[in-house]
Structure 1
Amino acid sequence: MTAATGARLSPGIIGRLRLAAQGLLGPGFQSVPDAVRRMTAMQAQDLPSVLWAVGQRVPGSRGDDVRAALDRGEIVRSWPMRGTLHVLAPEDLKWMLAITSGRLIRGLAARHRELEISAADLDAAADTALQLVSGGAAASRTELFQALERAGQSTAGQRGIHLLGALCQRGLLVQGPLAGNQQLIVAFDDWITGSRTLDRSEGIAEWLLRYFRSHGPATERDFAWWSGLPLTETRAALAQVKDQLVELRHEGTSYWLSPETASLLDDGVPGRRTVLALPGFDEFLLGYADRSLVLPAEHADRIVPGGNGVFKKTIVAGGGVIGTWAGPAGRRGGGVVAEPFDAVNGLRPAAQKSFELQAAKYRRYLGAGTGS
């Protein structure tokens, strides 16, 4: 399926179409589980950031709503791809791991040798961990590491987190309910009792289709990077599902998206004046291999200072990133401060007013009221 090309697109329009696909324009998603399922997977190495990322997409939701969904197992947080934590629907985790875990484990082989983690060590660690948490029990990371130490498995340095990650990638453990700002470790099959089964080809095709529906307009290279899957398999999957997508061409590159998102082009894509306060690590920025359409290259270092891998909170206006913001991570309220790239002129009055509304939304989400 193909739509009009070239002249109808610009970086701003592509950015706003992505916002619409991600539930950040229009009515948003109906519930926390619906948002996570519709987004396919959301980057989640920073827990407060992903809680707000979900909250932004569910009108009227509070932080407690997202935390409760984790506590009830309606959404899960694990390492399904790229060796990076994501939240996703529980029924999707096992089949995604079946596709990605072999490649992930092979990619970590050299690091495991450095940490002296052998296949026998992983088997022994699995036995110890499952003895600790099977039967519906849960353990903190500290308790798990203590059990591993008692069983003769060192957790010093990064060895403990690599053992935990490998056991989660093998589908034996998963992170479960919250205890403060940490998640307890539980047995996968105790926590996730309903898993879908898809073969590799079918699974990659569904994964790619859902990615383009939730993140499009995006390219096949965006999906290959995001999922960590080979480009050859990505192209084979695209051939299976492209009749369910719309192709747009911009500067010689094909972008794929859902027909529903593409239909916004007919009457003018909304959001030209929309201002959003997004968390660090949000999918709007991190969900793509090429971020230059929405983040000017000259400002990239403002988002990830020194390339340290820590993404700051972003202000998005008209489909592009125009600055960063700072605000409280807890429940105490306090100031939410805009830090636009144009520090001399700052935000225009209308944009400043819109940002203040976003700040009030964030404070309500935290349960801190609307006062500054």
Structure 2
Amino acid sequence: MAETRAIGAAERRARLGVRHLLAGGARAGSAEEVVDGLVALHGTDPASVFLAVGARLSGAPGGLGPVGDVERALYEDRSLVRMHGMRHTVFVLPSGLAAAVQASTTDPAAVRERGTLLKHLAAGSPLDATWLAETERLVLAELAVRGEATGTELGDAVPALRSTYVYGKGTRQEGVQSVASRVLRVLGMEGRIVRGRPQGSWTSSRFRWAPAVPHPALDPAEARAELIRRWLGACGPATEADLKWWTGWKVTEVRGALAAVGAVPVGLDEGTGFVLPDDLEPVPPEGAGPEPWAALLPALDPTPMGWQGRDWYLDPEHRAALFDRSGNIGPTVWWNGRIVGGWAQRPDGEIVHRLLTNVGAEAVRAIGVEAERLAGWVGVVRVTPRFRTPLERELGAGQPPGGTAAQ
């Protein structure tokens, strides 16, 4: 019987630097390369998508820069798509992966979302499934004519979309709510409409809606296998718990997908992990490790949010400063595969950071270079994370109490 391959924390951090396009020589040339390499970017906070790409981009085609390159991919070429996916969360994905995410993850969530909406309508209004189907038909017809429209514009064109219902009737949460956002959410989750270009700048969450390109219908089990194959290629090794957390699937679905791709168990510090069958060679090869690297990653970046077990790249003592109460991570500072601090943007636009551990002079210089690079392309735009964390709040407010913000 073959001995189980052991992969220690140092090797995992080396894999992370290269495969997550953070080590200097591993950076990408386009937004598509970044998203393809990472599988998916968290899209709940629109600014995070642009910041995550910018941290990994060596130079965009035509000198577009991170903002122009992401906007081109999302809204012109449509090579990237923003949609609901894993854990009922909005992600930006390669368009070629959208069908697998839809079949493996979004379709079951959409069924629950539609059922919940109908339940709420039945309890708090005279509106029913027939009304909902007709309203959806009118919305889709309007979008087919317009090409894209905001929720407000659709409400003006389809008055039924301005209907209301009583939410939480008879409870402390009782209140009148509009159906518009719920109806558009269901249509989006079912892959019938898609978020288009937002109103305002790249930090805005007020999206226009557009007709979606239909996804090919895939077998859910095959779709889960495809998603796991892609994810292990970018993030392996990972434990069963990591995979269950990231996908939001049942344990049986995770195990079925691991079996379908022939995943191989390996020994990790926290227990058994899994890699693809062709990914057992040491990474990097002897004497060929990546050069030391630094990075400033945004809130909800896919690297710190890639695994449920994070002790191999995050000191547990730093969690309280870097996460909010719901488990969302704020902006982080990285050195050689570890989170070593956090950063924020002050109201005057200045990018500041604080190191939570002693990293040495070389790291301080490299982190400073990354901070300058970030400030250079963000420019006059002000970026405030949607989910704010203790350290980010302190730094963003100005001189933080109990410490000195590193410039």
Contact 1:53 1:279 in 2 (8 A): yes
Contact 1:212 1:258 in 2 (8 A): no
3-state DSSP of counterpart to 1:294: coil
Once the two structures are TM-superposed, the CA of residue 149 in structure 1 deviates from its matched residue by 4.5
2:339 alignment partner, one of 318, 321, 330: 321
Q: Which residue of 1 aligns with 2:110?
A: 105
Q: Which residue of 2 aligns with 1:214?
A: 234
Contact 1:138 1:186 in 2 (8 A): yes
Higher normalized contact order (CA 8 Å, seq sep 6+, divided by chain length): 1
Deviates more, 1:97-106 or 1:228-237: 97-106
Alignment partners' CA distance in 2, 1:287 and 1:179: 30
Alignment partners' CA distance in 1, 2:178 and 2:11: 43
Q: 1:128 to 1:361 in 2, by over 3 A?
A: same
User: Could you tell me which amino acid in structure 2 is paired with residue 354 of structure 1?
Assistant: A
Q: Which residue of 1 aligns with 2:51?
A: 52
Matched, 1:366 2:371: no
3-state DSSP of counterpart to 1:174: strand
Once the two structures are TM-superposed, the CA of residue 260 in structure 1 deviates from its matched residue by 5.9
Q: 1:103 to 1:154 in 2, by over 3 A?
A: same
Deviation by residue 1:300-340 (Cα, 9 ceiling, x = unmatched): 121123x04553100111212111101379xx9x4221112
Matched, 1:77 2:82: yes
1:128 alignment partner, one of 104, 126, 138: 138
Contact 2:42 2:48 in 1 (8 A): no
Contact 1:13 1:319 in 2 (8 A): no
Count of residues paired in the alignment: 354
5 Å-filtered alignment, 1:195-214, equals 195-214=215-234
TM-score by length of 1: 0.83
Alignment partners' CA distance in 2, 1:238 and 1:29: 29
Contact 1:133 1:139 in 2 (8 A): yes
Q: 1:144 to 1:336 in 2, by over 3 A?
A: same
Matched, 1:18 2:24: no
TM-score by length of 2: 0.76
Q: Which residue of 1 aligns with 2:361?
A: 349
3-state DSSP of counterpart to 2:303: helix
Contact 2:342 2:354 in 1 (8 A): yes
User: Could you tell me which amino acid in structure 2 is paired with residue 31 of structure 1?
Assistant: S
Q: Which residue of 1 aligns with 2:399?
A: none
Q: Percent identity?
A: 25
Once the two structures are TM-superposed, the CA of residue 71 in structure 1 deviates from its matched residue by 1.5
Alignment partners' CA distance in 1, 2:360 and 2:159: 57
Contact 1:5 1:250 in 2 (8 A): no
Deviation by residue 1:1-58 (Cα, 9 ceiling, x = unmatched): x89734x512x43233223222222323342123223322221101111111122223
1:278 alignment partner, one of 290, 297, 303: 297
Deviation by residue 1:154-173 (Cα, 9 ceiling, x = unmatched): 38647433322211111111
Q: Which residue of 1 aligns with 2:151?
A: 141
Alignment partners' CA distance in 1, 2:280 and 2:369: 26
* CA RMSD of superposed structures (Å): 3.1
Q: 1:282 to 1:152 in 2, by over 3 A?
A: closer
Q: 1:126 to 1:269 in 2, by over 3 A?
A: farther
Alignment partners' CA distance in 2, 1:52 and 1:261: 32
Q: Which residue of 2 aligns with 1:239?
A: 259
User: Could you tell me which amino acid in structure 1 is paired with residue 141 of structure 2?
Assistant: Q
Alignment partners' CA distance in 2, 1:247 and 1:268: 25
Q: Which residue of 1 aligns with 2:355?
A: 340
Alignment partners' CA distance in 1, 2:334 and 2:182: 35
Q: 1:166 to 1:143 in 2, by over 3 A?
A: same
Contact 2:265 2:272 in 1 (8 A): no
Once the two structures are TM-superposed, the CA of residue 74 in structure 1 deviates from its matched residue by 1.9
Q: 1:169 to 1:309 in 2, by over 3 A?
A: same
Deviates more, 1:21-30 or 1:48-57: 21-30
3-state DSSP of counterpart to 1:51: helix
Alignment partners' CA distance in 2, 1:37 and 1:123: 36
1:167 alignment partner, one of 179, 183, 187: 187
Alignment partners' CA distance in 2, 1:15 and 1:54: 20
Contact 1:70 1:178 in 2 (8 A): no
Contact 1:215 1:257 in 2 (8 A): no
Alignment partners' CA distance in 2, 1:286 and 1:147: 40
3-state DSSP of counterpart to 2:35: helix
Contact 2:30 2:69 in 1 (8 A): no
Q: Which residue of 1 aligns with 2:8?
A: 9
1:312 alignment partner, one of 309, 330, 334: 330
Contact 2:29 2:59 in 1 (8 A): no
Q: 1:328 to 1:258 in 2, by over 3 A?
A: farther
1:226 alignment partner, one of 227, 242, 246: 246
1:68 alignment partner, one of 69, 72, 83: 72
User: Could you tell me which amino acid in structure 2 is paired with residue 339 of structure 1?
Assistant: R
Q: Runs of 5+ in structure 1 lacking a partner?
A: none
1:249 alignment partner, one of 267, 271, 274: 267
Alignment partners' CA distance in 1, 2:69 and 2:352: 25
Contact 1:97 1:171 in 2 (8 A): yes
Q: 1:75 to 1:114 in 2, by over 3 A?
A: same
Alignment partners' CA distance in 2, 1:77 and 1:84: 10
Q: 1:317 to 1:149 in 2, by over 3 A?
A: farther
